[in-house]
Amino acid sequence: MLTLLLFPVTLAAAAYQPTEENFPNPERGFYVQQAYNPEHGQTKPLDPVWLRRAREEGVSLLRMYWVLSEFRDRPLSPVMIDRIRADFATARSSGVKVIGRFAYNFGPTGAPDAPFDLVLTHLDQLGPVLRENSDVLAFLEAGFIGTWGEWHDSTNGLLDHSREIVEKILTVLPPDRMLALRYPRHKTALYGPEPLTAEEAFSGIPKARVGAHNDCFLASRTDWGTWTKNVTAEKAFYHQDNLFVPQGGETCNFKEDAQPFVGCENALKELAYQHFNTLNSGYHKEVLDSWTTGGCMSEIQRRPGSQAKRLVFR
């Protein structure tokens, strides 16, 4: 039986004066990205010098991929668990918080994930690490399922177990931390078509702990499949729901199908309407460059609260 972990919340009102200053804001802004990815030879520990430089330049967030390709057929090793602990410790000492994602591959489309029962085993193993590090965990992207952990092309039918996996993640996460799903249809399938209300927000119920990440923001009319045919209704859902939960992601396309959408005017409108908290500072380079040349990058940097100069991935 699933036990829901509720936590008391005391809300207080605060009034802030507007400012044009760029400043690092916890759990908001552009993020830098790193990966533990043995398939690509990326196994070095997180570099604290690189992270501190990012922090000095106004970045308060690291999206960290842990690619568990070595463990598609077995439990996580003590060495792997210690590696994850060490990454959190480096983030803490460097003054950044982590947007985490666990995946079984880093592409290409159709690369293998893991059997359902093993996913649950891995989550049980990860629970203590996540709870120990709740102070530096901004939120967790759902991951695990399919290519890049982006909830498509699962080789083990994991989408058929999406409800169980979400419930398990919420159980092992610290009770005050949130989860982000890749597609709006997954949240509405789990919790119904009505977005969060102010009364439900921060109550600890599962619906109030599930946000979103869009990893093809502005890529096309449907953001390359993020939206279904009812784009307007799904965006309206996020417009309300994201008042209370994280909305992260990245851009992914600058080709012809993106051109009606990636320009400054529409980007600013959609970022505001969908209440984005975080964006990838290094991808997609052509989109980000176009925001600079188009004159809106400084506003996009400022409004989430982080300057986030683009840093080269290491």
Return the residue matching tokens 């030879």: 41
In sequence order, the 6+-apart residues with CB closer than 8 A to the CB of 257 are 219, 220, 221
The sign of the CA dihedral 278, 284, 287, 290 is: positive
Cβ atoms 29, 278 nearer than 8 A: yes
CATH for the 29-302 domain, from 3.30.70.270, 1.10.3720.10, 3.20.20.80, 3.40.50.720: 3.20.20.80
| DSSP strand pairing (29-36 vs 210-217) | unpaired
Asked whether the bond before 26 is cis by omega within 30 degrees of 0, the reply is no
Q: For residue range 225-254, what is the model confidence (pLDDT) as tens digits?
A: 999 989 999 999 999 999 999 999 999 999
| pTM for this predicted structure | 0.91
Helices 264-273 and 231-241, axial angle in degrees (round to 10): 60
Helix (H) or strand (E) holding 119: helix 116-132
Backbone angles phi, psi at 96, to 5 degrees: -125, 160
Amino acid at 105: N
Question: What is d(CA 158, CA 141) in angstroms, rounded to the nearest whole number?
Answer: 16
Q: How far is CA 208 from the centre of its chain?
A: 16
Q: What is the pLDDT of residue 13?
A: 80
Question: What is d(CA 276, CA 153) in angstroms, rounded to the nearest whole number?
Answer: 26
Q: For residue range 41-97, what is the model confidence (pLDDT) as tens digits?
A: 999 999 999 999 999 999 999 999 999 999 999 999 999 999 999 999 999 999 999
